[in-house]
Amino acid sequence: MSIDSILSAATADAVKALYGVDFPVEKIVPQTTKKEFEGNETIVVFPFLKASRKSPEATAHEIGDYMLEHCDAVEKFNVIKGFLNITVKPSFWTNVLNHVSSTPNYGFVPVTDDSQLVMIEYSSPNTNKPLHLGHVRNNLLGFSLSRIMEANGYKVVKTNIVNDRGIHICKSMLAWQKWGNGATPESTGKKGDHLIGDYYVEFDKHYKAELKELQAQGMSEEEAEKNSSLMQEARAMLKRWEDGDEEIRSLWRMMNEWVYAGFDETYKRLGVSFDKIYYESETYLEGKEKVLEGISNGVFYRKEDGSVWADLTSEGLDHKLLLRSDGTSVYITQDIGTAKLRYQDYPIDRMIYVVGNEQNYHFQVLSLLLDKLGFKWGKDLIHFSYGMVELPNGKMKSREGTVVDADELMDEMIGTAREMSQEPGRLEGLSDEEKENVLRIIGLGALKYFILKVDPRKNMLFNPQESIDFNGNTGPFIQYTYARIQSLLRKSTDDIDGVDISTVSPNEKETSLIQRLADFTTAVADAGKNYSPALIANYVYDLAKEFNQFYHDYSILREEDPAVRVFRLKLSRTVGEIIARALSLLGMEVPQRM
């Protein structure tokens, strides 16, 4: 039983005995006492004032006195206004350490047959370009969130919707037809997603040149865009695709297969995966069908030009286009169809979309449209809205080829790890293959941690050099702490589990470290409630920092008292286990040596 559970139960007993009120134990949540005050755990007594009919101070003193007499874990207490600060007996912390150490998957809630099912959508790439830094943040957030929700006892289905059709795809296809000269991934030695991305940039280059030429002939910018032969060809190609033209469909299938092979390679390297992949080309017709059904039901309306719209003005929004005048669909149409198919495929209790905050309006609209179409879960969808990743030199633009490519970024991170690990002795004794694996773990760990430690709702500035520092709030610092602990355990000759440590009374630093270990359950629960991997990142950094201070201040292997030495080794081992468990929630690996 955790210290939080014991103190919650003891507080409820006190309120019952003193004031005759049955207060729900689950609503009594002890908090770690602030560092400026004496104590380990703090109970807020304001919820009990109605029962006590006394001042906050008097109520806290009465509850404290009762717990001191009736709860073996309590050594002493102090009161600051309505806050009851409890100091736990040092010997009790040894029991807590044993509990954390001996509990398989401590901090995680087991998934059962009765667990709710959460579907999490992330990645959502377009098949006209490779994955870039923005996709990296999306994938890392989505994958980490899926692990956090699973650790909170939910069944999780990780899903991806691939945007494999539309005008942007046709731009790449048209450019390849015009200027590709039959180029393939094999003939060029390029990953398929990179090759197709090159033609997307090529289209934009020729399109801009054409607009410039038309404007030089006296057209306005708007007239030039309307008269662009390139754009007209791309739109005609999209229409042919939607009409099922086999020539266009064949080209489309070939180029998409190149891209999928490239995506799979990037996903595998990044360490993310999916349980189910949906394709816009297979879901948009479902969406069109629901939209047309909405017209007959009077939910949507058709304009004179044949386009279909939703009137959302009564909800304080605007009119939303659902089908263009030529009958082609827009993104929101596909999202309606995808949602319908997903709820047919799975008994979803909660649907979470991991999509950037520039799409906040889109998901506000999608929720309303699904509700209007009669899907009872429409209003309950969750948009996990996150901020953009920016670079020191500004925003990225796919059309102009100024994106930070995900593959190149991973190469750069591993290369930086290689440079940082050059100091003598750091990877000594490892084979070349082992060294490369450690460098991969460090480089990708630095990338993942740097991105995930930031509050997802905030925009962030990505700095590769800063992310891989072996000191400070970085992935490599935490991974090094884990590797240091493994080195300590390898050097030890003690039977850690065979020595009785119940007589050991932890000092203040050891107590603080055990308390942080015990807090892992709260960190996991809070990360799940708030959909925030950053809470796990902050927790594990604080744990690693606390351990390093302990390691610096106290001897472990050279401690002469066998019981104390084994106690410290067990404490170190448990810290390592929780570090590895926490980092696994961030999709990070831990090296045995660094």
Q: Is domain 122-390 annotated with CATH 3.40.50.620?
A: yes
CATH architecture designation of domain 3-88? 2-Layer Sandwich (3.30)
pLDDT at residue 424 in the model: 64
What residues have CB less than 8 Å from 45, skipping those under 6 apart? 56, 59, 60, 63, 82, 83, 84
Task: Tell me: pLDDT of 264 over 60.
Answer: yes
* Nearest Cα residue to 591 out of 471, 478, 450, 428: 478
Measure the CA–CA gap between 385 and 532, rounded to whole angstroms. Answer: 11
Task: Tell me: pLDDT of 569 over 50.
Answer: yes
Cα torsion 341, 344, 345, 348 to 10°: value is 100
Give me 499's structure tokens.
Answer: 């020595």
pLDDT at residue 402 in the model: 55
Measured between its terminal Cα atoms, the distance across the chain in Å is 36
Task: Tell me: pLDDT of 500 over 80.
Answer: yes
Helix (H), strand (E) at residue 234: helix 229-242
* Nearest Cα residue to 373 out of 264, 292, 448: 292
- Yes or no: say if 151 and 585 are a contact pair by the CB < 8 Å rule: yes
What residues have CB less than 8 Å from 590, skipping those under 6 apart? 441, 479, 482, 483, 579, 580, 583
Measure the CA–CA gap between 33 and 38, rounded to whole angstroms. Answer: 7
* Nearest Cα residue to 241 out of 278, 287, 285, 202: 285
Mean pLDDT of the chain: 93
pLDDT at residue 399 in the model: 45
All CATH 3.30.1360.70 domain ranges of the chain, comma separated, are 3-88
Measure the CA–CA gap between 42 and 83, rounded to whole angstroms. Answer: 6
All CATH 3.40.50.620 domain ranges of the chain, comma separated, are 122-390
| DSSP per position, 351-407 | EEEEEEGGGHHHHHHHHHHHHHTT-TTGGG-EEEEEPPEEBTTB---TTTT---BHH
Tokens 């005759």 correspond to 20
Beta-bridge partners for 154: none
What residues have CB less than 8 Å from 451, skipping those under 6 apart? 136, 137, 140, 141, 389, 460, 462
Rounded percentage of the chain residues whose pLDDT exceeds 70: 97
Measure the CA–CA gap between 381 and 367, rounded to whole angstroms. Answer: 7
pTM above threshold 0.75: yes
63-92 pLDDT, tens digit per residue, is 999 999 999 999 999 999 999 999 999 889
303-316 pLDDT, tens digit per residue, is 999 999 999 999 99
Give me 563's structure tokens.
Answer: 């019981």
Q: What letters, b where the CB count within 10 A reaches 16 and e where it falls short, cover 478-515?
A: bbbbbbbbbebeeebeeebeeeebeebebeeebbbbbb
3-state secondary structure 15-83: HHHHHCCCCCHHHCCCEECCCCCCCCEEEECHHHHHHHCCCHHHHHHHHHHHHHHHCCCEEEEEEECCE
A 10 A CB-CB count for 590 gives: 22
All CATH 1.10.730.10 domain ranges of the chain, comma separated, are 427-585
Task: Tell me: pLDDT of 401 over 50.
Answer: no
Task: Tell me: pLDDT of 457 over 80.
Answer: yes
Residue 358 to residues 386, 402, 470, 580: CA-CA distances in angstroms? 9, 19, 34, 34
Measure the CA–CA gap between 531 and 373, rounded to whole angstroms. Answer: 28
Stretch among 52-66, 389-403, 490-504 having the lowest mean pLDDT: 389-403
Strand order in the sheet with 155-162: 276-279, 155-162, 117-121, 350-356, 382-386
pLDDT at residue 315 in the model: 93
Tokens 């030695």 correspond to 189
3-state secondary structure 149-210: HHHECCEEEEEEEEECCCHHHHHHHHHHHHHCCCCCHHHHCCCHHHHHHHHHHHHHHHHHHH
124-171 pLDDT, tens digit per residue, is 999 999 999 999 999 999 999 999 999 999 999 999 999 998 899 999
Measure the CA–CA gap between 528 and 382, rounded to whole angstroms. Answer: 13
366-380 pLDDT, tens digit per residue, is 999 999 998 888 888
Report the residue count for the chain.
Answer: 594
Measure the CA–CA gap between 330 and 167, rounded to whole angstroms. Answer: 10
Task: Tell me: pLDDT of 400 over 70.
Answer: no
417-439 pLDDT, tens digit per residue, is 988 877 666 787 889 999 999 99
Q: Is domain 427-585 annotated with CATH 1.10.730.10?
A: yes
Helix (H), strand (E) at residue 453: none
Cα torsion 186, 398, 237, 210 to 10°: value is -110
